[in-house]
Amino acid sequence: MTLRLEFVRRRRVPWLGLFFLVGTLAWAALLFAESISLHEEAARNVQRIDQLKLELQGRRRAALQLQAKVDPEASRRRKEQEKIIGALRYPWSRVLSTIENADSNDVAVLSLSHEQESGQTQITLESINTQGLVAFVDALNHDGGQEDGSDVGSRAQWYMTTYQIQPQNNPQTVRAVVLGNQ
């Protein structure tokens, strides 16, 4: 009987694969550290930008105050410009859509004025009869509610303040002033 011994070859350690794995992990760690440092630098930059904005606003205020002391006319013009810009930014579509939705063939709108600070609107109307005016005011109050039909306190209240029969016109017309709050 013979004894035969067979040896299993030992597996070699994959040094090359381990080297790439260690290199990749080191590279990932460097990228992570770089990412953290970039985030910290971005946060510092944001803080610096905020500081610079505050400083710039302070300098602008100081310059405007100095300019107002030197030239009161320029200050008055600047206030006028701010008022005009505020008027242009006002949501006019809300005011005008209410009137447009209540439009009637029996009523002519002669004038419209609106106070932005108080939200009060004044409309001068003309109609052939008072029923047309009353129907127009009712339509304004109906359309002044919210779109879902709910009756909430934000609803505009329109009312006729004065009306006058114009006998000199042929046919006679009725002129009225209607007020409402938006």
Helix (H) or strand (E) holding 63: helix 15-70
**Is 159 strand, coil or helix?**
strand
Query: What are 110-155's pLDDT values in tens digits?
Result: 898 888 778 788 899 998 888 888 888 888 888 654 444 444 445 5
78-107 confidence digits (pLDDT tens): 889 988 888 788 777 877 888 888 777 888
The whole model's pTM is what? 0.49
Residue the block writes with tokens 């709910």: 150
Please check whether residue 181 is in contact with residue 156, taking contact to mean a CB–CB distance below 8 angstroms. yes
